[in-house]
């Protein structure tokens, strides 16, 4: 790495490394200072800081008694409840390594997560209780008779020793077909949380929303920021995800003051909603995708009390965020800057040779950060490739992380995002390597070849498109069968919105996949004959689907996901079914029967078991949604 050009950050400068304080200690300080303040609110229930500390310490003690040792990986799974929050804190207090596992993931994905994360123990949280169980036969194993289990009263490690140790694990999509397990450190986590608390004045009186699924690293921001600040963590009722139409009213009714959001999700939240002048929401943190000025202006129109709109940037490998930018009011048009690095971190723009670019020159964004992750647990080769050596004399491993993002740094030090250097995309804020999805596609026994492409529509929403070549001489699997196969292996955002059988994968003269020709093949495919809904149930559902998906018509054999649906639009659809038809339906039923005619069967069975007269009746044929209304009645 050569010397930096004038105006560019100097990669040879010394970065400070603090000893850090563990998350468990940061929380314990708040519990001592504010024992009677609300720590977690859930429906009509409230746990004070004293109560949360008592329950977390009890679970940490149980972990020790079962044989969990410092550095053991402990998976935590369960619904979004106060007990789940206590279990997360308990793992940190036991000085183990946290591996959150979303209970809504497919069973195969949950098993893969625990396998790649090398989990020793599992905390399974229920409503009002939790159980601790070994993940493998040798959990806490390998211990001889002469080596007793650790004492439940074992002295905690000194802060300086603990700070550099592994603290948590999250999976990210991988180009080899297997997810990568990112190993985060206690130092990086506590550094970010303390920066965010101080920079935005988070403290007693603040109320923070928890809306992120358990297997995404952003959940640590949601959960831990309030609890290391003396603020209240607010969970949605019943531990479920809120439908997009319900988020804004919930934020207002719960008097939320801080929230983290992905731009795509926020766009759905704000659809056709009135201004909430009385809502006290003062700071919103956006991350995970490029942030547009139009969305910022829309947010401010709905939440006029918002004092600061913040754009955060940082891959999982750099610990939650490494750049921050407070957006101007009014917001400039177009994509907002990523901002400037956090204290102690440095953003470098590197050219194709790995040397620093001059100010304003585009290149690869690289993060020099003593607070970053410790690398990939299951991929030493990729760790060596992406976590490159720092400047001469800098002996710390993994000091410079090459993100694969393209950007530039202005003379004022603000970093701008310019896209990707590879095919990685974000779907609903989730990082997706199409190669991982392709590998899952090729694992189907009836498929000989396949490819997955990403398509971004004019509204900047990205979706995946899957193409497959059936095995010669065998019955060709239907798109529905292939989708069911993928849903059993992948998180829902990684399942392609469309799946198309093709005779072959077109190639360029150089033998590479011809992406443009492949997509045009699908566009030329003949439409299926229309099949209108057959009864009142199907007509009612077709109208709701058309509204939610912004379509003119829906046929009875249409697949919700092939029409462009995803989990958040499904939540909106469930909300409208409950409002209009008086029945409660869930994601699992949709996943089992995504075709409208089959899904209608699930609704009929639910209606038949309901203790009241069905409100389903024949409705007018659905028409196109009016512009700007998102189909709201």
Q: Give the alpha-carbon dihedral of 418, 419, 421, 424, to 10 degrees.
A: 160
Split at pLDDT 50, 70, 90, the class of 587 is: confident
Mean pLDDT of the chain: 83
* CATH code, 474: 3.30.300.30
* CATH code, 550: 1.10.1200.10
Domain span including residue 591: 536-609
Phi, psi of 442 (to 5 degrees): -75, -15
Burial tier of 510 (Cβ tally within 10 Å: 0-12, 13-18, 19+): exposed
Question: What does the pLDDT look like over 325-355, one tens digit per residue?
Answer: 999 999 998 889 999 999 888 899 998 888 8
Phi, psi of 363 (to 5 degrees): -175, -165
| pTM of the predicted model as reported, rounded to 2 decimal places | 0.80
Split at pLDDT 50, 70, 90, the class of 267 is: confident
Confidence at residue 301, expressed as pLDDT on a 0 to 100 scale? 94
Looking at the structure, do residues 514 and 451 belong to the same domain, yes or no? yes
Mean pLDDT computed over 145-168: 54
Looking at the structure, do residues 437 and 510 belong to the same domain, yes or no? yes
State whether residue 181 is helix, strand or coil: strand
Looking at the structure, do residues 466 and 508 belong to the same domain, yes or no? yes
Split at pLDDT 50, 70, 90, the class of 469 is: very high
Q: Specify the higher pLDDT residue, 628 or 551.
A: 551
> How many helices (H) and strands (E) in the chain?
18, 25
Last residue of a domain, one of 523, 547, 574: 523
Q: Specify the higher pLDDT residue, 322 or 562.
A: 322
Mean pLDDT computed over 72-83: 94
Mean pLDDT computed over 275-287: 93
What is the end-to-end Cα distance of the chain in Å, rounded? 60
How many other CB atoms are found less than 10 A from the CB of residue 20? 22
Name which of 35-44, 116-125, 143-152, 239-248 the model is least confident about: 143-152
Judge whether residue 390 has pLDDT over 80: no
How many other CB atoms are found less than 10 A from the CB of residue 460? 15
Residues facing 452 on adjacent strands: 466
Looking at the structure, do residues 457 and 487 belong to the same domain, yes or no? yes
Q: Judge whether 560 lies within some domain.
A: yes
What total of structural domains would you count in the chain?
2
State whether residue 500 is helix, strand or coil: strand
Q: Judge whether 16 lies within some domain.
A: no
Mean pLDDT computed over 497-513: 85
Q: Specify the higher pLDDT residue, 485 or 8.
A: 485
Looking at the structure, do residues 553 and 605 belong to the same domain, yes or no? yes
Split at pLDDT 50, 70, 90, the class of 111 is: very high
DSSP code of residue 239: G
């Amino acid at each position: 790495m050569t010397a930096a050009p004038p105006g560019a950050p100097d990669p040879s400068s010394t970065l400070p490394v603090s000893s850090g304080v563990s998350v468990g200690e940061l929380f314990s300080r708040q519990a001592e200072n504010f024992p009677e303040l609300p720590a977690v609110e859930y429906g009509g229930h409230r746990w004070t800081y004293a109560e949360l500390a008592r329950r977390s310490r009890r679970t940490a003690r149980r972990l020790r008694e079962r044989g969990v040792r410092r550095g053991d990986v402990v998976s935590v799974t369960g619904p979004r409840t106060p007990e789940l929050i206590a279990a997360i804190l308990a793992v940190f207090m036991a000085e183990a390594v946290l591996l959150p596992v979303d209970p809504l993931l497919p069973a195969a994905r949950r098993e893969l997560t625990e396998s790649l994360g090398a989990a020793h123990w599992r905390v399974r949280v229920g409503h009002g209780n939790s159980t601790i169980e070994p993940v493998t036969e040798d959990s806490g194993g390998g211990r001889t008779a002469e080596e007793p289990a650790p004492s439940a009263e074992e002295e905690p490690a000194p802060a300086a020793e603990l700070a550099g140790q592994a603290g948590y694990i999250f999976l990210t999509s991988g180009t080899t077909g297997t997810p990568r397990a990112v190993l985060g450190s206690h130092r990086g986590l506590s550094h970010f949380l303390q920066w965010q608390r101080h920079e935005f004045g988070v403290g007693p009186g603040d109320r923070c929303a928890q809306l992120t699924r358990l297997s995404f690293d952003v959940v640590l921001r949601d959960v831990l920021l309030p609890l290391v600040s003396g603020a209240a963590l607010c969970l949605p009722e019943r531990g479920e995800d809120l439908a997009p139409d319900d988020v804004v009213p919930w934020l207002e009714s719960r008097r939320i003051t801080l929230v983290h959001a992905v731009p795509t999700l926020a766009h759905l939240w704000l659809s056709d909603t009135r201004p909430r002048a009385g809502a006290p929401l003062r700071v919103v943190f956006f991350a995970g995708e490029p942030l547009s000025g139009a969305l910022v202006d829309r947010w401010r129109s709905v939440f006029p009390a918002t004092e600061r709109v913040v754009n955060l940037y940082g891959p999982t490998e750099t610990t939650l965020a490494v750049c921050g930018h407070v957006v101007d009011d009014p917001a400039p048009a177009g994509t907002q800057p990523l901002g400037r690095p956090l204290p102690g971190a440095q953003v470098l723009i590197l050219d194709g040779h790995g040397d620093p670019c001059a100010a304003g020159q585009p290149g690869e964004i690289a993060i020099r950060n003593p607070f970053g992750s410790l690398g990939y647990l299951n991929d030493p080769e990729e760790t060596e490739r992406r976590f490159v050596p720092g400047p001469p004399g800098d002996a710390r491993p993994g000091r410079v992380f090459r993100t694969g993002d393209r950007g530039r740094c202005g003379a004022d030090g603000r970093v701008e995002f310019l896209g990707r250097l590879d095919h990685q995309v974000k779907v609903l804020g989730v990082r997706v390597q199409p190669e991982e999805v392709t590998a899952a596609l090729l694992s189907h026994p009836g498929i000989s070849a396949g490819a997955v492409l990403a398509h971004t529509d004019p509204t900047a929403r990205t979706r995946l498109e899957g193409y497959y070549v059936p095995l010669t001489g065998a019955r060709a699997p239907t798109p529905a069968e292939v989708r069911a196969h993928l849903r059993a292996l992948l998180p829902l955002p990684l399942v392609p919105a469309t799946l198309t059988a093709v005779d072959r994968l077109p190639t360029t003269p150089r033998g590479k996949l011809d992406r443009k020709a492949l997509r045009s093949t699908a566009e030329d495919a003949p439409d299926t004959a229309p099949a209108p809904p057959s009864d009142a149930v199907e007509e009612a559902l077709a109208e709701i689907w058309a509204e939610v998906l912004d379509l003119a018509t829906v046929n009875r054999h249409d697949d919700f996901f092939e029409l462009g649906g995803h989990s958040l639009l499904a939540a909106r659809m469930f909300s409208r079914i409950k409002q209009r038809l008086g029945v409660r339906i869930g994601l699992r039923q949709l996943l089992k029967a995504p075709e409208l005619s089959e899904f209608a069967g699930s609704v009929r069975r639910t209606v038949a078991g309901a203790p009241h007269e069905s409100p389903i009746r024949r409705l007018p044929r659905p028409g196109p949604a009016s512009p700007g209304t998102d189909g709201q009645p």
